[in-house]
Structure 1
Amino acid sequence: MSSRRRLLLAAPLLLASSAMLAKAPKRRVIRIEARKFRFAPNVIELKAGEEVVLELTAIDFVHGFSLPDFNLRVDLVMGKPVRVTLKPEREGRFGFLCDNFCGSGHEEMAGTIVVKA
């Protein structure tokens, strides 16, 4: 098969692929900093069914990020952003916390994700 014929056969696939990529919705990125002894922001509002990317960065220590209601847990190494995708389907208030002991005040290092309709 000639290279011209192969190109003509592949063109519809390439066009379909690029059209699918163009239609893919952009996910909102929410940046969260973890530092002794807080997350910033510590309250995050989302819509039910909205897929977002949480980009977590530890500033001063190796922290943990745990969101038990969504079975989500990651380690945060200083200066290395970690990206996780979250798509909450139900409304409510869901707590997150640092689960890697980071010193006196660690027990206060928590936040809330508020999911609304």
Structure 2
Amino acid sequence: MNALLHRRAFVGSAAAIALASGAGLAITRAETAPSRVVRVVARKFEFVPALIQARKGERLVLEFTAPEVPMGANFADFGVRVDIVPGQVATLEFVPDKAGTFTFACDVFCGSGHEDMSGTLVVNE
């Protein structure tokens, strides 16, 4: 009888360790899930593409270029922004934590027409 109890305890412990290890692997995979890269060109006076779609919780890497003049991109609803310098790639990485439709805008004066320079980020559940 004692041997049977010890065996059940061992099997139960091994299962618990395997389950815990598997859970650890799942967490690690989620944390290291690949980012989605979106290339955006900031031109006078538009972002191309002007519409970016994402999923809530998805890690976005936005790679901005500006062929003409210095610009910026401000995602005020997410508290993130980036300066965009001609001839360089400006990277903005973040995880949208809420669903909805959000406006992002150029926040570095880039000439007349600057005030209308904006884009839309749509985040789905």
Task: State the TM bucket, normalised to the shorter chain.
Answer: 0.7 to 0.9
Q: Name the SS of the counterpart of 1:107 in structure 2.
A: helix
Q: Name the SS of the counterpart of 1:103 in structure 2.
A: coil
Residue 25 (structure 1) shift? 2.2
> Please, what is the CA RMSD of the aligned residues?
1.6
Query: For residues 15-30 of structure 1, what are the structure 2 equivalents within 5 Å?
Result: 24-30=32-38
Per the normalisation by structure 1, the TM-score is 0.77
Question: Which blocks of at least 5 consecutive residues in structure 1 are unaligned?
Answer: 1-19
1:89 aligned residue (68, 91, 97): 97
Instruction: Report the equivalent of 1:111.
Output: 119
Structure 1 runs (4+) deviating above 3 angstroms are none
Paired residues, number = 97
1:45-65 deviation line (CA, Å, top 9, x unaligned): 101111110111111000011
| Partners of 2:81 and 2:92 within 8 A in 1 | no
Q: Which amino acid aligns with 1:95?
A: T
Q: Name the SS of the counterpart of 1:93 in structure 2.
A: strand
Per the normalisation by structure 2, the TM-score is 0.72
Return the alpha-carbon distance in structure 1 between the equivalents of residues 45 and 90 of structure 2: 19
Between Structure 1 and Structure 2, the one with more helix by share is: 2
Return the alpha-carbon distance in structure 2 between the equivalents of residues 97 and 88 of structure 1: 16
Residue 70 (structure 1) shift? 0.8
| Identical columns (%) | 44
Instruction: Report the equivalent of 2:67.
Output: 59
